[in-house]
Amino acid sequence: MLNYKLLNRFFPNIINGKNLVCLWLFTNDAVFKEITVQEKQWANQLPKRRSEEYQYSRGYARFALASLFGIKPLDIPLNSYPGKVPELKEGWGYLSISHCKNAVLIGWSPQKIGIDIENSNRIFNEEKIYSRYFSIKEKKRIALFNNESYRNEILSNWVLKEASIKWQRGKLFKDLSEWEISNNKEIAIHKKLKEEIKLSLIDFDLWIIGIAYNRNLQSHFPIICME
């Protein structure tokens, strides 16, 4: 079971910890943190760049959660096979991890959560994304923006869609067009599954962050920790 007594000690405004969403952001120039022997073995089977990314993100996931739960990083019950959604032991909540060019974002909640991070100045083909992955309703809204605002609107909606897919534990190109973002970017609806979730969008320093979470969680979270 979750240690709500511990959570309330650090986050006294949370009722039983059930409305808590935590984010940790670590830049890629920080030192590597400790991972398990099994995780090292998995990492050694990956290409160099992917291996480094895997070791970095799993080490900092353990480091972040250890600070939350007050235990040693290697004691965090994390199952994190490469290419699979990282999962915590039942009763320990839900973990989501996202990478971008120069940072890794770790997200945790007692309930399902999905996160995504991108560099605010990322170069991408906005017209391709606009034409392929947005609904008619979304396109009409986005088309009202011009120039840089148009690009930013596409990027912010993309980030929220990816976060929604991670909440769903879905597939990127299968579910990307199914998730529709509301005009105020606070709700996402999966058209086929009829799922409805809450969203938060954060412009934070060099990054744009999307968070998808259950509707009964408080909207004034998350708390961001940066090292």
Q: What is the CATH number of the domain that holds 57?
A: 3.90.470.20
Q: Which residues contact 227 (CB under 8 A, 6 or more apart)?
A: 24, 25, 26, 30
Q: What pLDDT band is residue 173 in, cutting at 50, 70 and 90?
A: confident
Instruction: Give the three-state DSSP class for 61.
Output: helix
CB 17 within 8 A of CB 80: no
Would you state the pLDDT for residue 215?
A: 81
* Runs of H (alpha helix) within the chain: 4-10, 37-44, 48-69, 126-133, 136-142, 147-168, 172-175
- Residues 23-33 as b or e (16 or more Cβ within 10 Å = b): bbbbeeeeeeb
Percent of the chain with pLDDT over 90: 71
**What is the arithmetic mean of pLDDT over 141-152?**
93
Q: Say which amino acid occupies 165.
A: I
Q: Write out the residue range of the structural domain in which residue 168 sits.
A: 4-226
CB 59 within 8 A of CB 34: yes
**What is the arithmetic mean of pLDDT over 175-190?**
95
Residue 40: exposure state from Cβ atoms within 10 A (0-12, 13-18, ≥19): middle
Q: What pLDDT band is residue 10 in, cutting at 50, 70 and 90?
A: very low
Domain count across the chain:
1
Q: Which of 174, 181, 171 is nearest to 211 (CA)?
A: 181
Would you state the pLDDT for residue 6?
A: 42
Tokens matching residue 134: 């947005």
Q: Say which amino acid occupies 213.
A: Y
**What is the arithmetic mean of pLDDT over 42-50?**
96
Would you state the pLDDT for residue 44?
A: 97
CB 47 within 8 A of CB 130: no
**What is the arithmetic mean of pLDDT over 50-66?**
95
**What is the arithmetic mean of pLDDT over 34-53?**
96
